[in-house]
Structure 1
């Protein structure tokens, strides 16, 4: 029983909290203690739960249910050995108690022994008629093992018992998607909808499957039925907007996104999509308004900052673009996409040192794309830092061995530094792997391209 603040059900709770303040020990029956503990656990008040368990067991030392709450606390606090010992004692007292099996499985799961957890839960199935929770727990254990077919089977069993178990429905679709079984998911959802035709969640999920297959007209129909089933279903309007964008019906998409702003608190996603639609419609003033609202609504949303930065970038207003990307970096300096945009904008402004710093930061954060290494290295060449450029390209070649673009650059740099052996090595390698990129020598190293040795190597090869 969950306590309510509007009726007499909360009298034991009030009495218990009064007892804690006065230190006068009052008597409660074991069921009252169970309700009190359950209430505190739901509220996340672990310290009060522990007090209630201790006092409950002082008054009812043989209560198995109260001891099971103690097990639950042990598991929550990662005291798995203590929990296991107590569970073994309880099993000897009541071997047919399904909750003992559930908690035992919980311990196995915490120890990553998911197969043993499944075995225990399957044994618990024999002890109860209330199987839905057990099916769900078994399904989750199979998910931990990445056994999606088995997981799907047990979540389907949940839905067979309780057609309104939407948590199970979401998990089933998750399994289908992980297995790339969009067609199978569609077939399953259509069968489910034959039994439950006004289930907005199922229509919504069906629309997502059609969207994944790029069958946009069927996706639209599915979202229409989701909205007919529940005209306040924000998710359906958002997804419908995404489909309309794919169909280039931007004004219709805006209308759907705008409905979500009226139904619920504005989301940064909806604001961003409206801004993008207005930009596609070349209504730049409204696009900018919605991009501004997006970053104010959720300053952590990188897509918002990227959109507003790219907006100014496309307009050629690089100073404004730099202003916004700097604001974004101040909020999240670990975002690789921000640093790459920062570099591109600085490069357009001819702030080459800042541009190089941005690419360096992106690489330090784990962006090992070839383009990033090349862009940074070319800037270092322009800045007259051949040794640092060599270090950059040699690091890159560890990720992209036998890459001609890197090898020609290294050849040019080594010839610039009069290291003819290494220059010759990389020039021959570059020509061997792709002779079409030999123009790099002339483009980036015009003096080197006139060197007689370089001309001879290129001619021979």
Structure 2
């Protein structure tokens, strides 16, 4: 039977209800009784993050890290706070710390890459995303941010490929069709730019373009015809 009065359960209910101020006050009372209560300290930092009090959150993350230097939860909360404070060099240091005891932490690799991007160190950021993708080839965060890094480096063709891979994994990401379309425009490929904007995957573009040539019509007309036929078949 679940103990509803157990502090962890009380905190979870407050968090799920979005009652971050109440959660913060509840945890403060816990550390009045036991100053080194890890559950309370961790959740004070978490509540402060949701209250957008990032500098205060870091203070409590540091209290946890004084007790347990390698506490991943505290390190990640501190990284998130530092990102919001735009202290990217410090983020990189902490990500390296996590990776020193867990080289396969994809979250740390991606966070490090994002901070390197913010510092215009896009080549170094690419290396982080490449490591992430070796661990998980379908990691959408790494795929998206590798595409962004490649775009910054003006490697538009490769950037499109990684946007397309991300779109294949998660077609619901609305930013991808627009980003792909703009890159095709930079490459002076208007037909592909149009199709990308409609959410067409790269592998399907050539079929539509070829059909348009065979039918002696525009790509726009062919796309509309295909859409009509698909709708009519349902």
- Of 79, 88, 93 in structure 2, the residue corresponding to residue 250 of structure 1 is 88
Q: Does 1:188 align with 2:26?
A: yes
Question: Which position in structure 2 is the counterpart of 1:226?
Answer: 64
Cα distance in 1 for partners of 2:223, 2:145 equals 36
What is the DSSP-based 3-state SS (H/G/I as helix, E as strand, rest coil) of the residue aligned with 2:2?
Answer: helix
Question: Which position in structure 2 is the counterpart of 1:291?
Answer: 129
Aligned residue runs from structure 1 range 9-158, under 5 A: 134-136=1-3, 154=4, 157-158=5-6
Does structure 1 retain, via aligned residues, the 8 Å contact 2:122–2:152?
no
Deviation of 1:348 (Å): 3.1
Per-residue CA distance 1:205-247 (angstroms, 9 max, x = gap): 1111111111111100010011112222111111111111222
RMSD, aligned α-carbons: 3.0
Does structure 2 retain, via aligned residues, the 8 Å contact 1:204–1:236?
yes
The verdict on how the C-alpha distance between 1:291 and 1:302 changes in structure 2, with shifts beyond 3 A counting, is same
- In structure 2, stretches of 5+ residues that fail to align are 201-217, 229-234
Cα distance in 2 for partners of 1:214, 1:326 equals 34
TM-score for both structures, normalised by structure 2: 0.77
- Of 309, 313, 316 in structure 1, the residue corresponding to residue 151 of structure 2 is 313
Deviation of 1:318 (Å): 0.9
Higher relative contact order, chain-length normalized (CA < 8 Å, sep 6+)? 2
Cα distance in 2 for partners of 1:200, 1:333 equals 37
- In structure 1, stretches of 5+ residues that fail to align are 1-133, 137-153, 160-168, 363-381, 393-461
Question: Which position in structure 2 is the counterpart of 1:235?
Answer: 73
Does structure 1 retain, via aligned residues, the 8 Å contact 2:44–2:57?
yes
Q: Does 1:268 align with 2:106?
A: yes
The verdict on how the C-alpha distance between 1:212 and 1:333 changes in structure 2, with shifts beyond 3 A counting, is closer
Question: Which position in structure 1 is the counterpart of 2:14?
Answer: 176
* Stretches (4+) displaced over 6 A: none
Question: Which position in structure 2 is the counterpart of 1:336?
Answer: 173
- How many aligned positions are there? 211
TM-score for both structures, normalised by structure 1: 0.41
Does structure 1 retain, via aligned residues, the 8 Å contact 2:82–2:90?
yes
